[in-house]
Amino acid sequence: ETGVTQTPRHLVMGMTNKKSLKCEQHLGHNAMYWYKQSAKKPLELMFVYSLEERVENNSVPSRFSPECPNSSHLFLHLHTLQPEDSALYLCASSQALGPGRGRYEQYFGPGTRLTVT
Amino acid sequence: SQQGEEDPQALSIQEGENATMNCSYKTSINNLQWYRQNSGRGLVHLILIRSNEREKHSGRLRVTLDTSKKSSSLLITASRAADTASYFCATGPGAQKLVFGQGTRLTINP
């Protein structure tokens, strides 16, 4: 868990709010990920940034908007969310050598527990 | 889908006993990984086994891979209360696109 930090750890927001989740990795990696973990569902890959380019967008609704200003930071901007978006949002990082290439091991942050009311 | 599926979904054993979890997947893989997740926390990488390896050890962990059966197992020996967690296998069509199973919830009873 160490090496990847996420803030805030807990977030409660109304359906009309706008908020952002932040992730920072201190491992010198150059690929970063957002995952969604809902109860009783497998971990879902949302977005992948490799070498600061978005290389994966798994049909995520536009109310989720990622931003990767540099290889160490990743944001997930949230707006007009739905109650079913309540979940644990996990950030991860890994070492990429190019699109689809690199080390497979991913390092995860502790997650942000999001509740949409 | 290349999704790994863990079995059993839940496992409860006494401290000191061995715990075995299994993972099955559907397509050819380059490698398979196991991760641990403590309740409500991030995942921790445990071990990676490549498709040309049959067995790998790391401390009290032993992972086997049978590519002919498209399955892997994770054995935790001499379990401890701190091993209580969910365990996931993950496979990927490539780096940067891992697919996780639903996990096995392991409970170690004192």
The CA angle B97-B93-B68, to the nearest 5 degrees, is 140
**Distance from C-alpha of A95 to C-alpha of B108, rounded to nearest angstrom:** 34
pLDDT of residue B2: 47
- B88 CB neighbours in chain A (<8 A) are 43
**Smallest Cα distance from A25 to chain B, Å:** 13
Strands A10-13 and A64-70, by their bridges, are unpaired
Q: Pick the closest to residue A76 from A9, A22, A13 (CA basis).
A: A22
For residue B22 the two structure tokens come to 């299994």
Percent pLDDT > 90 in chain A is 75
Q: Among candidates A54, A44, A57, which has minimal Cα distance to A90?
A: A44
CA distance B87 to chain A (A): 12
Lowest mean pLDDT among A5-9, A49-53, A66-70, B35-39: A49-53
- Which of B41, B92, B96 is the closest to A110 by Cβ? B41
Whether residue B43 and residue A90 make contact (CB cut-off 8 A), yes or no, is yes
Indicate the Cα dihedral angle A6, A12, A18, A23, nearest 10°: 0
pLDDT of residue A102: 74
B100 contacts in chain A (CB < 8 Å) = 42-43
State the average pLDDT over residues A42-51.
Answer: 90
Helix and strand numbers (H, E) in chain B are 0, 11
**What are the pLDDT digits (tens) for B49-101?**
999 999 999 999 999 999 999 999 999 999 999 999 999 999 977 777 888 98
